Chains A and B, each alone.
Chain A
Amino acid sequence: MTKFACSGFTAVGALAASLGLLAPQVAMAQTAETKKPAAAKTSANPTKPATFRTPWGDPDLQGVWNDATSTPLQRPGGVGSKDVLTDEEAAAFQDSLAYDLTRDRRDGSAAEDVNRAYNEHWMDSRRLKITADHRTSLIVDPPDGRIPPTVKISPERAKARAQRAAANARFNAGLPANYTDFSLPVRCIIRTDSPPYLPTIYNNDFQIYQSPGFVAIAPEMIHSARLIPTDGRPHINRNLHQWLGDSRGHWEGNTLVVETTNFRTDAGVIFMDADPATYKITERFTRVDAKTLNYEFTVEDPHTWTRPWTARIPWSRIDPEEQMYEYACHEDNYDLVHFLSGARAREKAGTIKPQAAAKTTADER
Chain B
Amino acid sequence: MRDLFQAAVVILLAAVPAGAQNQKLANAPAFPPYKAPRLAGHPDLNGIWQAFVTANWDLADHEAQAGPHPEIMGAYGAGPAGQSIIIEGAENGQIPYLPSALAKKKENFEKRATADVSSDETWHAAGDPEFKCYMPGVPRATYMPFPFRIVQGSGPYILIAYEFASTTRTIRMDSKEDAPTLSWMGWSRGHWERDTLVVDVTGFREETWFDRAGDYHSDELHVIERYTPASPYHMMYEATIEDPKVFSRPWKIGFPLYRRLERDMQLLEFKCVPFTEELLFGRFRKQQAP
Which residues of A approach B to under 8 Å, CB–CB?
Answer: 54-56, 60, 62-63, 177-180, 187-190, 207, 209-212, 214, 216, 218, 222-225, 227, 229, 233-234, 236, 240, 242-244, 323-326, 328, 330-332, 334, 336-337, 340-341, 343-344, 347
Contacts and interface: CB of A to CB of B under 8 A. Distances in A.
B37 to A, nearest CB: 10
Given A179-B281, A211-B46, A223-B185, 9 more contacts: A178-B281, A188-B273, A209-B159, A211-B39, A224-B168, A234-B264, A244-B269, A331-B207, A337-B118
A188 to B, nearest CB: 6
Contacts of A63: 155
Contacts of A178: 281, 285-286
Nearest to A188: B273
Interface of B: 39-40, 46, 117-118, 120, 123, 129, 133-135, 149, 151-155, 157-159, 161, 166-170, 172, 177, 180-181, 183-185, 207, 264, 266-269, 271, 273-274, 276-277, 281-282, 284-286
A243 B129 CA distance: 22
A55 B118 contact: no
Contacts of A180: 277
Contacts of B39: 55-56, 211-212
A29 to B, nearest CB: 23
B151 to A, nearest CB: 4
B266 A229 contact: yes
Contacts of A60: 154
Contact of B168 (A179, A210, A225): A225
Given A218-B159, A240-B268, A330 B118 contact: no
A331 B285 contact: no
B166 A224 contact: yes
Contacts of B161: 216, 224-225, 227
A268 B212 CA distance: 34
A325 B180 contact: yes
A113 B134 CA distance: 35
A215 to B, nearest CB: 9
B183 A177 contact: no
A47 to B, nearest CB: 21
A187 B161 CA distance: 22
B109 to A, nearest CB: 21
A264 to B, nearest CB: 9
B200 to A, nearest CB: 16
Contacts of A344: 284, 286
Contacts of B284: 179, 337, 340-341, 344
Contact of B264 (A188, A233, A340): A233
15 contacts: A180-B277, A189-B271, A207-B157, A210-B153, A218-B168, A223-B135, A225-B151, A227-B149, A240-B268, A323-B177, A331-B134, A331-B135, A334-B117, A337-B117, A337-B118
A114 to B, nearest CB: 21
A243 B135 contact: no
A54 B281 contact: no
A63 B154 CA distance: 10
Contacts of A324: 170
Contacts of B269: 242-244
Nearest to A175: B286
B120 A325 contact: no
Nearest to B161: A225
Given A54-B153, A325-B183, A330 B266 contact: no
Given A211-B153, A334-B120, A323 B172 contact: yes
A186 to B, nearest CB: 11
Given A216-B159, A236-B266, A331-B134, A337 B281 contact: yes
A242 B266 CA distance: 13
Given A325-B181, A328-B184, A227 B135 contact: no
A237 B270 CA distance: 17
A224 B264 CA distance: 20
A211 B45 CA distance: 10
Contact of A242 (B46, B207, B268): B268
Nearest to B133: A330
Specify which of B154, B158, B181, B284 lies most central, judged by the most chain A CB atoms within 10 Å of its CB: B284
